[in-house]
Structure 1
């Protein structure tokens, strides 16, 4: 059951896309009670990769300027450890290639979780300001509800946007330090996952409306370049007007295809066997949903990559790479390092002390 609506509001803050919200009115488990997410208001959403998706409705929502970096004190650069060391990650890549050779999967995204002790519930907004200043990202934001949610994201990847009845997704596949360093493997992987996302959206969109509007576009971010494609379609009328709209969207598309693999169900089995710890909000969904009084919906959810989450006095940050038959295991390890180095350094106040051996 979802948590019933509270009388008045309680502590909590969320910020996305130039909007800051405060005062939590209620929290809902979206998978169990999707119809609650059609209640008018502004909601912050955090989904775990493993399946749970929660939404918090906020009382006060206003436009906000970027926050100035505050007194963030993170873990030391040397405090970070990895759920998979280099040798273990290389072995995982080779096991995925064996699954591909057997025909079990075409691609699987294999991740490792960096973690560092950080006692006491820290100020998420302060870390968000540090990341915004040092690593601006198109879908940056965060949610901090004491005792319930602590997520700060500098995500460059769009999971789902809903506006005027159109649903859009922007899968990223292909990462390198420069555009010239992109390989044929990167381009083939992007096309494969774009097709998976297209198939996902066809489950909730009107026939004939799903199209790839950008294929293999280049996006430049601090310290790296991504290949990004864009897929969109018009929501089917029975889906757009359904009280369980979010159940249908999540059933069709979750977890995001770019951070799971193809076929998705088989890739999830491979991930479960090879990754030693849960991903949590990393590779899940982070963003907002706004429901108007007339029931119309706007939403923008990012894939929870380049995302920190805190719980149980530990700060965590995930990093991973998509594995195909053409993968070189050492190169895939290096990609996980590239994706993590800048952001972990910012959260640590210095050079990232990533565990490599």
Structure 2
């Protein structure tokens, strides 16, 4: 009988044959050991109840993401379009937007990212070896229908002897990159169907979050080295456009030479500013108050670390599958919007629908 197949891909790197999994809450120093390590960090990690894990694989190549079907040749079989349900309906979400605006008026916070989680039942079937839904087939479908610069997938099935994970992402957003001591980030804030649809509110929000990311990088970089190298660039993606800025800095010698370098970097910058809010600590308290479902890998981090190089994406446009004690398996997908004083509740709801429509359509059974 075939052994369960484990693999991971990210931005053109493909790894196979999982070796081990480590808990980054306690053992982030392990990322200094030879990899490659593929990382999945829940939004609620680092003291807030989520999981932060990294899997080391035996072999890696530049083979790219999986193709349009799985290695077994099967096509993706997702939920029916009508089976998706949201953790917040429209009325609840719009009420949450109004509540954030009250917090802004009171001076508690300037911006909060408010999210909802879509889910649909998806029984453990599909891949002939693992029995789990075919992550490679979904990754291939997204690669064709919604290509993304930080596309990622990590599938370590139950029964492999290593902590399991099932995540497929079409993220357009860079959380962190590291190359030769240069630490970078590419926060996204501002989404519309076309560049003409981007508003003054979008631009103000992007500047606010870029400043937050700049402050986060200051915590682990040499004084005077952190700079915004690109501000309010317009990037086109399938079906929508984003405002993207770029921030870079040089890791401080203390952090760069620390045995726990990645622990220091993650604790200083996580969760990503673009999916939390400003000030970050106040935004996280409000998120906990308003959101009705955990985000899990959505809005967390997905990517790879290998020696002195790394790329981690913000886990947006992300699907994750789990089998619970009372179900045969559930596929989830998160969507959200940044809320400021200038937010219109109905418009913010429509933004969450815009961000979800293409990806959820691709993941549903009737997509072609």
Normalising by structure 1, what TM-score? 0.93
Per the TM alignment, residue 349 of structure 1 is displaced from its structure 2 partner at its CA by: 3.7
| Contact 2:301 2:315 survives alignment (8 Å) | yes
Give a deviation string over 1:236-287, Cα, whole Å, max 9, x none.
1111111111111111100000000000011000000100110000000000
What does residue 68 of structure 1 align with?
A: 67
2-side partners of 1:241 and 1:65: how far apart?
32
- Residue from 297, 301, 309 that aligns with 1:298: 309
What does residue 26 of structure 1 align with?
A: 20
| Contact 2:14 2:65 survives alignment (8 Å) | no
1:17 maps to 2:11: yes
1:275 maps to 2:274: no
| Secondary structure class of the residue paired with 1:31 | helix
- Residue from 249, 265, 268 that aligns with 2:265: 249
| Contact 1:34 1:243 survives alignment (8 Å) | no
Give a deviation string over 1:284-324, Cα, whole Å, max 9, x none.
00000112xxxxx1000000000000012000000000000
2-side partners of 1:195 and 1:176: how far apart?
22
- Residue from 97, 113, 120 that aligns with 2:117: 113
- What are structure 1's unaligned runs of at least 5 residues? 1-8, 292-296, 353-357
Give a deviation string over 1:57-91, Cα, whole Å, max 9, x none.
00011221443211110001010000001000000
1:53 maps to 2:47: no
What does residue 149 of structure 1 align with?
A: 165
| Contact 1:10 1:23 survives alignment (8 Å) | no
| Contact 1:10 1:25 survives alignment (8 Å) | no
2-side partners of 1:179 and 1:308: how far apart?
27
Give a deviation string over 1:130-153, Cα, whole Å, max 9, x none.
000000000001100113110000
Q: CA RMSD in A?
A: 1.3
1:135 maps to 2:135: no
What does residue 4 of structure 1 align with?
A: none
| Secondary structure class of the residue paired with 1:22 | strand
1-side partners of 2:12 and 2:342: how far apart?
41
Aligned pairs (5 A) from 1:207-218: 207-218=223-234
- Residue from 82, 101, 105 that aligns with 2:105: 101
2-side partners of 1:68 and 1:40: how far apart?
28
What does residue 35 of structure 1 align with?
A: 29
Per the TM alignment, residue 46 of structure 1 is displaced from its structure 2 partner at its CA by: 0.0
- Number of residue-to-residue matches in the alignment: 339
What does residue 220 of structure 1 align with?
A: 236
| Secondary structure class of the residue paired with 1:201 | helix
| Secondary structure class of the residue paired with 2:112 | strand
1-side partners of 2:230 and 2:315: how far apart?
22
What does residue 350 of structure 2 align with?
A: 334
| Contact 2:38 2:54 survives alignment (8 Å) | yes
2-side partners of 1:349 and 1:81: how far apart?
15
What does residue 201 of structure 1 align with?
A: 217
- Residue from 319, 336, 351 that aligns with 1:320: 336
2-side partners of 1:145 and 1:104: how far apart?
41
| Secondary structure class of the residue paired with 2:222 | coil
| Secondary structure class of the residue paired with 1:301 | strand
1-side partners of 2:318 and 2:11: how far apart?
16
Give a deviation string over 1:73-110, Cα, whole Å, max 9, x none.
00010100000010000000000001111111100000
1-side partners of 2:258 and 2:157: how far apart?
32
| Runs of 4 or more above 2 Å deviation | 65-68, 349-352
- What are structure 2's unaligned runs of at least 5 residues? 46-50, 70-74, 125-131, 159-163, 324-328
- Residue from 82, 93, 106 that aligns with 1:78: 82
Aligned pairs (5 A) from 1:172-187: 172-187=188-203
1:310 maps to 2:308: no
Normalising by structure 2, what TM-score? 0.90
Give a deviation string over 1:321-351, Cα, whole Å, max 9, x none.
0000000000000000000000000000447
